[in-house]
Chain A
Amino acid sequence: MLIRSMIFKEWVKVRWFLLLYTLLAVLAVAYIFIRVRHDITFHEANNYWYFILFQGHSWFRLLRYIPLAGGLVLAVAQYFPETVNKRIKLTFHLPVEENRSLLMMMQFGTLCLLACFLLLFLLLCGLSRVWFPTEIIFSAVVSVTPWFLAGFAAYYLAALIILEPVWLRRILYLLVAAAFVPLYLTGSVPGGYGPAILALFLLTCLLSVALLFSGYRFRKGEM
């Protein structure tokens, strides 16, 4: 009951943002494949493969900042309404342990992002099977995975920043985030991210609980 209510509140906040974002992101993936189809027809498939395999052409690069944007949109949609008039007080006052409510919010957001990203990811992989062999798809997967992780990292960091009660700290966190998030988005040759993915994944998991810190500071009356 309680979990359903919590999900309901989060859903009311994010639904339009999430749906709109998903729609736009799906359109972006569709555009990627329209491009691929066009380029294959105009340059011949073997030449197009050649650009990808040996000249580092990344046919999916449009996707680079899309998960990042998704994480930010979701975080703003979900946490900004909580900070208006310090509405987070209402959430903390619910008969639920405070950290648990924050974690439920975070988990909800994570699941939303996961669902959305999974959809994009499956679309990308599924459609690319029509035109590309596994080698090309695999290197694309290695390249886009950190971008999707960047979406999660941005979401977690944005939660931390939005919920933080003190403006000065927000700016400091923002600086940290600005130095950290580019680690996920470094331009590299397709497939070059392979050895870093596990470490990035673990770091992203660590980041997921960062919002508890802001929540704690809020409850202890930092203004």
Chain B
Amino acid sequence: MLVAVMAAATALPQLYWMIFGKPVRTPFIMYSCVDDLFMIQRTGETMVREDTRGNQYTREEYEEKLPMLYMRQLMLSGTMMDTIRGIAIDAREVNNARSTFRYKPSDRYTPDPGLYPLFEAESGRANLEMPEDYFRITWRMEFTDAKTNKVDEEKSRLFSAALYHKGFQFPAVKIAGIPTTRKSCDEGYLVVDAAHQLFHVKMVRGKPYVRNVELPEGLRFEHIACVDFRDRLYYAYLIDKGGETWILTQDDYMLVKLPVGSFNPASEDMRIYGDFFNYNVIFNGDGFVRAVALDKDFNKIDEYGETWKIRMELPEGKAFTWLFPGTLKLESPNSNFLKFRVEVNPVARWIWLSLALAALHFLLLSRGKGYTLRKNLTGHLADLAIIVVSGIFGFLAVNIFPNRFFD
């Protein structure tokens, strides 16, 4: 019975949205270094490009307002300006300053691999090479050779000792890095230890390099995303437990809090586009988008936000709340972990349908075989209760597995 309710609660809403679901299109917001205001591009049946003052633009005009983003296009059509804000534009410098970063909740909520490759940071070679071994940091830092599947004791001792001497408390609770050879150079890993201290660990010419990063009192990180940008200004974006975003500068290990406000890393996206003049930080959640423009010194210049109706407030969502009590699902767009997630609909309209179905069920019972009603009162009351609580799912379940007990 429970299984039938669950099966219905998973399958029916899925089917419903497959049939009636419409995409919600988030506007694309970008700060214009030409006009010093936000440009908005709305996709949909017709494409609308406008600014926060309500001026509408053609595609070409729009692109000219965002020369850092559309430089290649503007150069191709010969409309690229020579100077912006009085600064002569050099294509190489612009390219160097460009950075793109995206955080999604599923970056944070995903199984840890547990093993990471530690690259040689100064190999003297032009390209990075995949190391032969992988490390884990449990009760010590341990390297396992892939070919033999055996622990390299000597290397493990060497690195463990280095960590230990810097005051590392085993085991590691978070290990962040860029475990790929497709990056400009290697900066190792940022590791959070059992005492919430932050360490920078890399391998330089076969020797461990460990640096303890000083943290403000009580700072705990929710997520660390290492970055590899051409300007090499900072190692990583760090998101703390309060949803504030920080950067860790290269070489001098300064932690700088971005003045962008907090967000919810469990359910909202964050994008950071860096260009020659600005950083565009865009937060995107259910029913809203919020953009913050920062200058190159990470000072806040401007902010713009929009909200729209979430899915459940649209007609098809309203119908959904009439029909179904909620949804049961294993997957979530915000996590790579599977677990049973019950999403009860925000509005309890479904209770009317539940009551109606319960009444219908009662009617069927008392009409069809009146005598069974009296005979198995508790059973039928249980059925009715199931219908009231789980609505259409329960109604189906009760009718698929009839609670018909004979005497």
Complex partner residue of A133 from B132, B134, B147, CB under 8 angstroms: B134
Using CB atoms, name the residue of chain B closest to A191. B111
Given the known interface contacts A48-B146, A54-B113, the answer about A189 and B336 at a Cβ–Cβ threshold of 8 Å is: yes
Answer whether residue A139 sits at the interface, using C-beta atoms and an 8 A cutoff: yes
Contact A53 B339 (CB under 8 A): no
Contact (Cβ within 8 A) A203 B3? yes
User: Which residues 32-80 in A have Cβ within 8 Å of B in the complex?
Assistant: 44-50, 53-54
Q: Mark out the residues of chain A between 162 and 200 whose CB falls within 8 Å of any chain B CB in the assembled complex.
A: 169, 172-173, 175-177, 179-180, 183, 186, 188-196, 199
Q: Which residues from 1 to 41 on chain B have a C-beta closer than 8 Å to any C-beta of chain A?
A: 2-4, 6-8, 10-11
* CB of A213 within 8 Å of the partner chain: yes
Residues of B near A31 (CB, < 8 A) are: none
Q: Does A132 contact B (CB under 8 A)?
A: yes
Out of A169, A177, A180, A192, which one reaches B336, CB within 8 Å? A192
Q: Residues of B contacting A195 with CB < 8 Å? A: 337-339
**Taking the complex as formed, is B81 at the interface, i.e. its CB lies under 8 A from any CB of chain A?**
no
Chain A proximity mask over B168-181: 1 for CB below 8 Å, otherwise 0: 00000000000110
In the complex, what's the smallest C-beta–C-beta distance from B16 to chain A, in angstroms? 13
Residue numbers in A under 8 Å from B11 (CB-CB): 179
Do B111 and A190 touch (CB < 8 A)?
yes
Is the pair B340, A47 in contact by a Cβ cutoff of 8 Å?
Answer: no
Collect the chain B residues with CB atoms within 8 Å of residue A44's CB: 146-147
Nearest CB of chain A from residue B80's CB, rounded to whole Å: 39
Interface of chain A: mostly helix, strand, loop or mixed: helix
B355 to chain A, nearest CB (A): 24
* Across-interface contacts of A130 in B (CB, < 8 A): 149
For residue A16, CB closer than 8 A to chain B, the reply is no
Q: Is the CB–CB distance between A176 and B180 below 8 Å?
A: no
**Contact of B7 (CB < 8 Å), options: A129, A176, A193:** A176
**Structural contact, B330 and A196, CB atoms closer than 8 A:** yes
Whether, in the assembled complex, B131 has its beta carbon less than 8 Å from a beta carbon of chain A, the answer is yes
Q: How many residues of A contact B (CB 8 A)?
A: 45
Would you give the shortest CB distance from B281 to chain A, in whole angstroms? 27
Are A133 and B144 within 8 A (Cβ)?
yes
A193: chain B residues at CB < 8 Å are 337-338
Pick from A47, A131, A135: contact of B136, CB below 8 A.
A135
CA distance A136 to B401 in the complex (A): 42
In the complex, which of the residues B8, B110, B117, B401 has the most CB atoms of chain A within 10 Å of its own CB atom?
Answer: B401
**CB distance B130 to A50 under 8 Å?**
yes
Check A53–B113 contact: CB distance below 8 A. Answer: yes
Asked if B406 is at the interface of the complex by the 8 Å CB criterion, the answer is yes
Among B3, B180, B400: residue with most chain A CB under 10 A: B3
- The contact string, 1 if C-beta is below 8 Å from chain A, for chain B 308-339, is 00000000000000000000001100001111
Proximity string of chain B (88-121) to chain A, C-beta cutoff 8 Å, 1 when within and 0 when not: 0000000000000000000000110111110000
- Verify if A123 is at the interface (C-beta below 8 Å from B): no
Asked if residues B111 and A192 are in contact (CB atoms below 8 Å), the reply is yes
- B111: which of A47, A169, A194 is its contact (CB, 8 Å)? A194
Chain B residues with Cβ below 8 Å from A213 are 401
- Contact status A45-B111, CB under 8 Å: no
B400 touches which one: A49, A54, A173, A196 (CB < 8 A)?
A173
Given A189-B110, A195-B339, CB of A46 within 8 Å of CB of B147 = yes
Q: Which residues of B contact A177 (CB under 8 A)?
A: 7
- Contact of A54 with B3 at beta-carbon distance under 8 Å, contacts A47-B130, A48-B146 already known: no
Within 8 Å by CB of A206, from B3, B7, B132, B336, lies B3
Bound state CA distance, A210 and B397, in angstroms? Answer: 14
Question: Would you call A49 and B2 a contact (CB within 8 A)?
Answer: no
B133 at the interface (CB under 8 A from A): yes
**B10–A183 touching, CB < 8 Å:** yes
List chain B residues, Cβ under 8 A from A133.
115, 134, 136, 144, 149
CB neighbors of A among B148-167 (8 A): 149
Cα separation A81 to B147 with both chains bound (whole Å): 51
Q: Which residues of B contact A188 (CB under 8 A)?
A: 331, 336, 338
Residues of B within 8 A of A (CB): 2-4, 6-8, 10-11, 110-111, 113-117, 130-134, 136, 144, 146-147, 149, 179-180, 330-331, 336-340, 400-401, 406
The 5 closest A-B pairs by CB, nearest first: A191-B111, A135-B114, A45-B146, A195-B339, A179-B7
